[in-house]
């Protein structure tokens, strides 16, 4: 662990979906700990706003559409050109679909969620593998954002839940395939962090029994610290699955 932290100032991270929410919190945590961070997202202004809030580190804003493999390749090319390597990918970018009955979900919305949450995550993993296995020192770490929805659905969430279940398959397979390259792959499953996407929980959301209930939220910066903890591990150790959630959210139990 000591050697890993001694080199911390020189380590390089890519954070997708870094303009808001969990991605922003993770980017700020990494920057505050001295990492060099390429922050990716569809719009440049939020990325620059994230970097402007940083307490330290060195940042790079890279507008990226993760659903486009060519755009993801540009993200990795620019990062390597800037800093010479990639030590960490926080594979975080994701979107949701309207909470409608599954028979009413437009196919276009289904495809949008799959293209971003599943295909986009694969494109980033693939690019990370290519860079990490070829660089010297070899290896690196990938952390995929799975969500509580990787384990249990909410009503009317078939697209989001299906992709997040698939992310667990990506994590397990990439973790296995990364061993020979010294690439550690893990997943963070987040429940009810106070982000723009989750703020509806405070107003009441549908439960499995048909009721509408307000759900507790936690500070999103707690998630940022969780990502930083996973990122700071030496490559000989890996957190395969890490669940961080609002303590009183309805996840474990029946309802």
pLDDT digits (tens, 9 = 90+) for 106-120: 999 999 999 999 999
pLDDT in tens, 122-176: 999 999 999 999 999 999 999 999 999 999 988 899 999 999 999 999 999 999 9
| Model pLDDT, residue 134 | 98
Orientation of helix 120-134 relative to helix 158-178, angle to 10°: 10
Better-predicted residue by pLDDT, 180 or 217? 180
Q: Which residues are catalytic?
A: 160
Residue 117 half-sphere exposure toward CB, CA atoms < 13 A: 27
pLDDT at position 255 = 53
**pLDDT, average across residues 179-191:** 97
**CATH architecture for residues 2-244:** 3-Layer(aba) Sandwich (3.40)
- How many Å apart are CA 103 and CA 247, to the nearest integer? 33
pLDDT on residue 7: 41
pLDDT digits (tens, 9 = 90+) for 200-220: 777 888 888 888 887 888 899
| Cβ contacts of 4 within 8 Å, gap of 6 or more | 232, 233, 234, 235
- Spatial CA neighbour of 185 closest among 139, 243, 221, 222: 139
Domain boundaries, the chain: 2-244
Measured between alpha carbons, how far is 226 from 238 in angstroms, rounded to an integer? 13
Split at pLDDT 50, 70, 90, the class of 8 is very low
Q: Is the dihedral of CA 20, 230, 6, 78 positive or negative?
A: negative
The answer for residues whose C-beta is within 8 angstroms of residue 215's C-beta and 6 or more apart is 192, 201, 202, 205, 246, 249, 250
Supply the pTM of this predicted model. 0.92
């Amino acid at each position: 662990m000591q050697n890993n932290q001694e080199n911390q100032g020189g380590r390089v991270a890519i954070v997708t979906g870094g303009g808001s929410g969990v991605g922003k919190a993770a980017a700020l945590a990494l920057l505050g700990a001295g990492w060099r961070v390429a922050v990716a997202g569809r719009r440049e202004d939020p990325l620059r706003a994230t970097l402007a809030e940083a307490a330290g580190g060195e940042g790079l804003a890279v507008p990226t559409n993760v659903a486009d493999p060519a755009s993801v390749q540009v993200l990795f090319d620019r990062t390597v050109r800037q800093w010479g390597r990639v030590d960490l990918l926080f594979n975080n970018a994701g979107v949701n679909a309207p909470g409608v009955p599954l028979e009413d979900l437009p196919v276009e919305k289904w495809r949008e969620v799959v293209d971003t949450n599943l295909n986009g995550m694969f494109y980033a993993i693939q690019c990370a593998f290519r860079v990490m296995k070829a660089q010297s020192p070899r290896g690196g770490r990938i952390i995929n954002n799975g969500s509580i929805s990787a384990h249990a659905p909410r009503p009317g969430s078939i697209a989001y839940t299906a992709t997040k279940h698939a992310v667990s398959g990506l994590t397990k397979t990439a973790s296995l395939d990364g061993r020979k390259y010294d690439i550690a792959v893990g997943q963070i499953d987040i429940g009810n962090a106070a982000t723009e996407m989750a703020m509806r929980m405070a107003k009441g959301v549908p439960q499995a029994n048909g009721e509408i209930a307000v759900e507790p939220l936690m500070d999103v910066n707690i998630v940022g610290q969780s990502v930083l903890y996973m990122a700071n591990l030496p490559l000989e150790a890996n957190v395969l699955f890490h669940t961080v959630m609002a303590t009183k959210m309805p996840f474990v139990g029946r309802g």
